Structure formats: structure tokens, C-alpha cells
A and B are shown apart, each in its own frame.
Chain A
Amino acid sequence: MELERIGVVLRPRESREALDLGATMLRANAGTVWSAWFAFTLPLFVLVNALGLLLQLPWLGLALTWWLLPLFDRVPLYVLSRAVFDRAPRWRETLRGQRGLPWRPTLAGLSWLRLDSHRALRLPLELLEGAPRRQRAARWKVLRRKLVGEASLLTWGCLQFELVLFLSVWLLALWLLPNEWRPASFADFFRHDVHSAGTAWTLAASAVAYLAISAIEPLYVACGFALYLNRRTQLEAWDIDLAFRRLRARLQDASKLLGLLLCLGLPLAGHAASPTPPVAKSAAVSTPQEVFRQPLDEDDRRFAAAAAQVYRDPRFGGEHHVRRWELKYSRPPAQQNVNMGFGPLRMLSGLFNAVLWLALGAVVAALAWFAWRWSSGLRDEALPSSFEANLSTTVDETPETLPQDLAGTARELWQARRRREALALLYRGCAERVAQQLQMPFAVDATESDWLRHAAALGDPARSQRVATIVRTWQFAAYAGRYPDQAAFEQLLDGWPLQPGAAASGGAA
């Protein structure tokens, strides 16, 4: 056995996981396994059924097929055991290879071990290892220790799967039968119908059972083989063995290289020291070029190996086999219009055509109407001065310097229905007056709460109160769109901040 060539990832797994490895192996080699399976078992199946018919015992075909399973199991096991080492045999090769596998265990399996529920696990041990009987018994004892339960579960599970597939086919057939063909009741069916065509029904059941067995039996063998591989990986540390072999190869390569360099380097050094260069030329491998090519090559080879590994991943490359049905003889398009049917059908199709065209027209019209509505809606919305538009004009048009007559300007704005600008002007004038009063520079980035704080520092509660009123009014207008009425606005214009000479208490709100 060459462990280096193994094609499955070895690591100690739970036995349940090992079963899934078996399913994966089978999936990867499905074509070879089943071609060999059918090549081997189909003739035997036909033969035993013919025998049953000859002996007037139609059920014998099914019973013998089931009884011969240990014989059939040899085929998938042979294919999988070869395929694991990266070489799946063709079906001819498999059939020829059966001669190489020992027959005695199969005979035992066909006779007194036929009802053994550990057959899947026993198969690889007995057929592949081929050890003498006493040694085999000892090995079986070691091998089965932790796997008995799992192997029995595997057997029962596969039996269930076969049953599921068998019943599925019959149930599906029952569903597909037209109602009038169905038997009136199951009791009726089994009492009369079955007996009237007993042989045909038995043969059909036998064929369906054979198909179900064909689907599941290779899975059974593959899972048993995977359990066996996993157990041996645990017992003999195959994964560590592989890793150590790789490491050993690497170390040996490295040391060989080192040795080669040393061997070649010493004479070269000698030549360099002695002034007789022409002699060195004739040596087989003596130019530094050739000596030093070695490590470069080694790297290249490893890179190439890594790249090949990557390309083997189906996501990055590799071959893709695409299968699809294509018409062998494409029909000329003219033929399609020939069979339009008779009058009423043609009328009906014409009607449908008209309805479809109408529907298309309706869709186009609806789209046009929607587009028109949407664009006009946009236009309508652009006309009235929205809140945002107002805000931007306010910000844009705030003059750099305040007008002399603040109150007058604000009142003009107010009367021109530009109340927001009026209040903005009022707020700004108020802020600037506060700054003047406190003899501090006017900060452009000061917020309303800043001005309220400054107002509190004015030292005059009445004036602070008026500043607070103006700021609040501005905030209500700016952020909530709530404007004061005419009288309240006039009251804000009167008195201290806007008319510097006025007394603070003049217009306390």
C-alpha cells in the first residue's frame, strides 16, 4: 500500500462523520462504481429471475438477489479501494480484478454469515487485507471494538433507505395512476387483483427492489469502507504517518542539496584557487550556473505543485462537463405556423393577441400618465416658497453690515410679508447690540443659547428678559414656523435693543 497516493483527507474522525466520508467517496466515484455494479449484477439479477420463472416460484428472483448481496458487495469495494489511491478502475478491469480478491470470506458471507449485521465492516478487512485466518480473527477483534454499534446502525439505516426508495417508487406510481384504474380498495387489490396477475406483480416488485438495492448497497459498502479507513487511521495514525513522510522527504531533499553543494563547491573552490581553469569546463556538472539552478528549480517545482493543487479545486479551474439536450434536427420555423387549428381556435388566438396588444397599450399609457403626473408634481412643488427655500434665501441675503435703522428695516420686511427675514434681522441686531453692550467681538458662530448666556451676563434683568424674548421668538419662527402676531412684533421692535436710546423697561414683554 502506498499511503502517499491516498486521495482522501485522513484525520481521526467520529465514526458518524466517517460514514459521511463514505458517502463523499461514493459520490466522487459514482460513475465507475455504478457502471461496474450494473455490469456485474444485472446479468445475475436476470439469471435468478429466469430461474424463478422456470421453477414456477417468481418470488425466488427477489429472494436470491437479496441473498447474493455479499457477492455483489465485492464490486463497489474493489472500485473504491482502488479509487481511494487515485486510480478508479474501469468496469472491465473491476470484473477481471474480482479474481484477485479472496473467495472464502464471500462464501462464508453467503452461507452462515449471511445475517451478520457487521458485513460492511467485515468486507474490507477480509477482502483487502487477505491475512491468514487466525491473524484475521485477532485483527477483527481490535477493529470492531468501538465500531460494532455504528456498523449495526449502518446496516439498519441502509435497510431503511432501501425500503424508502422501494415504497417511494410504488407510491409515486399509485399517484400517477388515473382514478378509474385504481383498485377500489387495497383489500380488494390484494385479495383479487394480485392473484390474477401474481407473476407480473412479483417481477415488478423484484425489479423495483433491485433498483433500490442498487442505489443503496454501494453506499453501504462505501460507508463500511470509510469506517474501516477511519478506524485504521485512529489505530495506526495514518495521518501522522503521511505528515512525517512529507517532512522526511523535505529534509532529505534539503540535506541532499546541501551535500551536493558541498561536494561541488569544494572542487570549485580548489579550481578557483589554482590557476588552471580549462580543466573544470570538462566536468559533468560543474558550472555554478548548473549547480545553482537546483534550488531555483526546486522552488519552481513547489510553486507549480501548489498551483496545480489550486487548479484542481473546482472553483478555480479544471474541466467542466456540461450536458444538455439539444435538438438534433432543428425544425424549420415555417412549420410552426402550419398547424394553427380550425376556425374557433384561430379566432380565440386572435382574441388573445388583441387582448395582449391592448394590455401592452394600457401599460404604456399608464407609464406615460405616471411620468406626466410625476414631472408636473415636481413642478408644482418647486413653485411655492418652501421652508428650505426660505431658509436659504435668508441665509444668503443676510447683509454683511446691519442697516442703520434696524427697526424700520425690520418693519418694512414684515409688512412685505417677509416675516422670517424680518425676525432674522431682529435677532441679529439684538445679538449685535448685546455684543456691543458687553464690549466683546461679535462671534459669527455663536448659537442662540450662547446669546442667552451672554444676555444673562448683561447685569440688567429687564434687558436680559427682552433678549430672551427676542431669541425665543426667533427660534419659534425659525424652527417651528410659528410667527408672532403684529402687536407682539411691534412690541419687540420697541425699546432697548433696536432703539439704543430707549429705556430697557420700555417694551418688556
Chain B
Amino acid sequence: MLDSVREIETPEGISLRLRAAGPLPRAQAWMIDTIIRLVLLMLAMIPLAFLGTGGRGLAMLAMFALLWAYWVVCELWLDGQSLGKRALGLRVVNADGTPVTWLPSVTRNLLRVVDALPGVYGVGLASTLVDPGARRLGDIVAGTMVVHAKESSFGHQVPASPAQMLPVPLAPEEQAALVDFAERADQLTVQRQEELANLLEPLTGCRDTAAVARLLGYANGLLGRP
């Protein structure tokens, strides 16, 4: 089964799912970061322009900081998210899912030079297109990856209805599917709801509206409601 998720199992038997972020969201985040940095630099230039040669020196320093330190500072102090990544819900983490620390962060951002070859991020783009984890060379060397940080839920609260007991015991993933159905039923058309509920006729023993209601009852029962 194809998926962009990388699963990591901890020694405690918990599986962490890292949803690797591909070239398109990352390019958008980079674009936002670049615009922010340009704006910052221009804002800094306005007062510095009145300071003559000294001001020019300070502007160079500001440019250096925005070029090199910006990424590391953001990644260390903003939970692995530069401002553009934050806007797009991306995050830099170590390959094992732990928060990025300063050494990998410095490494991956120093190697930005290599990824930016030949001047327009051609190497980085090729690397993210080829690598299964969509990592650029800096990520590969530093042992980090960029993941989607935002976990959005698509369902709503399960509508309350009298709980019903399941006639047969179900496996956990089957129970999860029932609850999923109850959560997302209001986003489906009535016909589709009934179509789905009719699939489970061997379980519910009825069809159409009654089947949908019964599935909602099962979901309420699974959620421990009265």
C-alpha cells in the first residue's frame, strides 16, 4: 500500500507516524520565508541608509544573519518551524521523530549551499523528488526530515443516540471504522450513508435508514455513552 507516511516503532511498542512533506509544500514554505527575509532586510536598510559606511556594514551583518542564522534560530526556538513552515504546518524533526536539536539543524542549514546548487535549488529539488522521504541532501546528512505537523480531524462529534450493543465482537480497526462512519456521516449524502450502512447488513440485520441509525447506536455504545 502506497503512503507518504514513515512509521517508527518506539521500544515501548508505540508506532509514531511521520507524514513526510514533499517538494511542493516545502517550496511554498521556502517562498514565504524568502519574502519575509527580504522584507525584514528592507526594513532594516531604511534606518541604516542614513548611517553611511557604518550602516552599510551593519546591513551586511544583517544580511549574513538572515542568510545563515535565520533558519537555525527559527528551528531551535520555534519548534523546528521557520515562519514559512509554520504558515504551512510543516516541521523539521530528527529522523526518529524527536525534536530537532542544534547540531542537525546547523548541519542541514549549512548544506543548504549544496542544495542550492547551481544557484536555483536544482540539486535540492532533484533530491526531494527522488528520495522517498522527500529529503534534500542537507536532511539526509543531518538525519532530519520535514513532516506535516498539523493533525486535522475531518469528522465532527458523533451525534448522540441511544447506545446499542454490538451483536458480535469486532476487531479494533473495525470498531474504529464504525466510529469514523458516525463522525463523518453528516458530511455524506443520505444516499451514500445508506449505501455504506447497507454494506453492513450482516451486522445490523436491517437496511437503509434503520441501518444508519443502528450504526450510530453502535458507535455511541463503542464510545461508552449510555
Contacts and interface: CB of A to CB of B under 8 A. Distances in A.
On whether the two chains bind one another, the answer is yes
A63 interface: no
Contact of A247 (B22, B174, B188): B174
A171 interface: yes
Interface stretch (A17-25, A46-54, A423-431, A480-488): A17-25
Given A9-B5, A168-B122, A219-B129, A154 B24 contact: yes
Interface residues of A, number: 50
A132 B199 CA distance: 28
Interface string A1-23: 00000011100101011011101
Contact of B134 (A20, A25, A243, A245): A20
B20 A20 contact: yes
Contact of B120 (A8, A14, A27, A167): A167
A186 to B, nearest CB: 14
Contacts of A244: 177, 181, 196, 199-200
Interface residues of B, number: 50
Interface of B: 1-5, 19-25, 27-28, 88-89, 118-123, 125-126, 129-130, 132, 134, 148, 150, 152, 154, 168, 170, 173-174, 176-177, 180-181, 184, 187-188, 192, 196, 199-203
19 contacts: A8-B1, A14-B150, A20-B24, A20-B25, A23-B4, A27-B130, A157-B24, A157-B28, A163-B120, A219-B129, A236-B192, A240-B184, A241-B199, A243-B173, A243-B177, A244-B199, A247-B177, A247-B203, A251-B202
B168 A251 contact: yes
B196 A241 contact: yes
Nearest to A8: B2
Given A9-B2, A165-B122, A167-B120, A255 B27 contact: no
Contacts, number: 146
Contacts of B25: 16, 19-20
Contacts of B201: 248
Task: Give the secondary structure class of B's interface.
Answer: helix
A23 B177 contact: no
Contact of B203 (A8, A160, A251): A251
Nearest to B123: A168
Given A20-B25, A157-B24, A255 B202 contact: yes
Nearest to A30: B130
Contacts of B118: 168, 171-172, 175
Given A164-B121, A164-B125, A168-B122, A27 B21 contact: no
